[in-house]
Structure 1
Amino acid sequence: MQKLIAIVNVIAWAGFWAFGYIAVTSDSLSQSQMVVAALLAFAGLVTGVLAYMKLVRASESSGYAKGSNQLDAATRNRAQEEWGK
């Protein structure tokens, strides 16, 4: 499943860059073609970000990647109180 998500991630980012480039740089497109290219670029962006986040979450839970060092609520609140001193 991870390989499928990785393939979707690569294809989504390729679509984002390709259609984004077309939407931004092309002068000969009609208004509707520009809107379609922009929508496809946005869809690639959203799909790419979601697939990337899913891959990161899966790699952290499997132990392949090191987990993020987020503080628990009590430590974070104590650090916030000491920050202004």
Structure 2
Amino acid sequence: MAKLIALLNVIAWSGFWAFGYLALSSGSEAGSQTVVAILLAAVGGAAGLWAYFWLIRHSEVTGYAKPRNRAVINEEETA
């Protein structure tokens, strides 16, 4: 499953950069094409971020990467 998510990560970021470039480089006369390129770039960016964060969590859980230092709030500290 992790390899499939990694493949999705690469494809999503590629789509983000490709369609983002198309959206930025399209002229003002290509209105609807620009909107479609912006939407596809946003979907690619969102999928890329989701896959990247999933891979980070997965690598921490499996022990491949060291878990990050996170603050843990105990109940006695909140009182």
Tell me the TM-score normalized by structure 1: 0.83
1:22 is aligned to 2:11: no
How much has 1:72 moved relative to structure 2?
1.5
1:59 and 1:46 map into 2 onto residues whose CA distance is: 20
In structure 1, the residue matched to 2:58 is: 58
1:43 and 1:23 map into 2 onto residues whose CA distance is: 13
The verdict on how the C-alpha distance between 1:3 and 1:69 changes in structure 2, with shifts beyond 3 A counting, is same
In structure 1, the residue matched to 2:43 is: 43
How much has 1:51 moved relative to structure 2?
0.4
Ranges of 4+ aligned residues in structure 1 off by more than 4 Å: none
Q: Which runs of 5+ in 1 are unaligned?
A: 78-85
Question: In the alignment, residue 49 of structure 1 is paired with which amino acid?
Answer: L
Tell me the TM-score normalized by structure 2: 0.88
Residue 52 of structure 2 aligns to a residue whose secondary structure is: helix
Q: Larger Rg: 1 or 2?
A: 1
Residue 73 of structure 1 aligns to a residue whose secondary structure is: coil
1:4 and 1:29 map into 2 onto residues whose CA distance is: 39
Q: 1:34-72, CA deviations, whole angstroms, 9 ceiling, x for partnerless residues?
A: 000000000000000000010000000000000011122
1:11 and 1:29 map into 2 onto residues whose CA distance is: 29
Number of residue equivalences? 76
After superposition, the CA RMSD in angstroms is: 1.6
2:8 and 2:42 map into 1 onto residues whose CA distance is: 15
1:6 is aligned to 2:10: no
Q: Which runs of 5+ in 2 are unaligned?
A: none
